[in-house]
Structure 1
């Protein structure tokens, strides 16, 4: 998560910044060791990310869930950190309540959906497109031990069925796995300074990242930015792949 600590927002506008009466879990307080702690992000499974000491460290804390496998995320972070700026894992574990936690070092930068950035979409959206392209061009497929393929995702989500849909031809890259706008950090000049939430990183089709990235633009910046993003990424719209991977993202 971004080094700059988020200010809780209006729940109706951004539920990820609505913390209510969230209490610091015992394990987070222990890891903070007296340093200040503040919630900065709530995810869809009910987990919270806590900033420690103004963002020097972050602790992701949440219930057991297929979307939050801390050991797998640590392995991915250690590997991808040799290629792009990503959080450096410190440690991880399970507390007495069965909740999982992952502590990482903070990265400089602010999430692309916090602070002033949502009001500067004309600058931010092209940079997000360029940043995702840099990720795909930089992280090597050879040596990546994880999958983000269609078959893998269907296996992970047994209730999902392609229902006779033809699988598109693979254009392999190492996918971020959750290439939504909040997971890109920007520096003060508006350039991408790092990538976070890489727990699903693996080899798949580039449109498996492009589809949620385009969906996220509407959620965070409003409608009408898709072509700007694609132009900055450097790819023409592939309607068939976009439709397939949008469906797969929403289904799984």
Structure 2
């Protein structure tokens, strides 16, 4: 695996990907083996694109690639990750997040796509390989064979395809990937953009709302109202909450 050059890099334990992350000052280095270069370079391109839209986030500092792998250097996003905010700040933070996610979903001319069919195919591959991570499943879903969960996804996809609302989605809009100013509680940046692309808006709404419930024990109503969908479609929320954990493996 390729590593950043120079001294002073400190390893950081973060995320669920097959990369190694280091920090030196205000710069992060995400490094991968040769097998991960295509995925990491795709994330680089997404960070570069989003940084040109005016939305808060990291910027690309450098890209290193060799036979040992790849290394993406980006600026650090100020603030604190959403999962670390104290309970008293959750209401204001949810409203800030709703506004920023709506702004993200309103962007145009995004060159990246995540077609629903491709995502389901990815889930099918994970299930076929027996690679579904049970930690990502609810207690109820752990009692069900992954093949049955996938079958439910495939069956319900007919409905979801009919009501798709394609927008620029983050793709992994979980609280650790959203940073906030601890004082103003405004969003200071979106990170881990490897899945950013055109997809149904509920791909983000489903993950964010379940995170607010699970991590903050919060009613997501302030978030949904600020976003502009106070009465979301429960079928699409359930669909994407079930689909997402089947794609990580």
Which TM-score applies when normalising by structure 1? 0.74
Aligned to 1:17: none
Question: For 1:27-176, what aligned pairs fall within 5 Å after superposition?
Answer: 27-28=3-4, 30=5, 33-35=6-8, 37-53=9-25, 56-62=26-32, 69-83=39-53, 84-93=55-64, 98=68, 100-114=70-84, 116-117=85-86, 120-137=89-106, 139-140=107-108, 143-159=109-125, 161=150, 162-165=153-156, 166-168=158-160, 169-176=163-170
| Structure 2, unpaired ranges of 5+ | 128-149
Q: CA deviation at 1:86?
A: 2.4
Task: Tell whether the 8 Å contact from 1:118 to 1:220 is kept in structure 2 after alignment.
Answer: no
Task: Tell whether the 8 Å contact from 1:128 to 1:181 is kept in structure 2 after alignment.
Answer: no
CA displacement 1:175-231 (0-9 Å, x = unmatched): 11111111112124110122111111111110011111112223431x232223212
Structure number with higher relative contact order (C-alpha < 8 Å, ≥ 6 residues apart): 2
User: RMSD of the alignment, in Å?
Assistant: 2.7
Q: CA deviation at 1:43?
A: 1.9
Alignment length (residue pairs):
216
Q: Does 1:185 align with 2:179?
A: yes
Task: Tell whether the 8 Å contact from 2:2 to 2:32 is kept in structure 1 after alignment.
Answer: no
| Structure 1, unpaired ranges of 5+ | 1-24
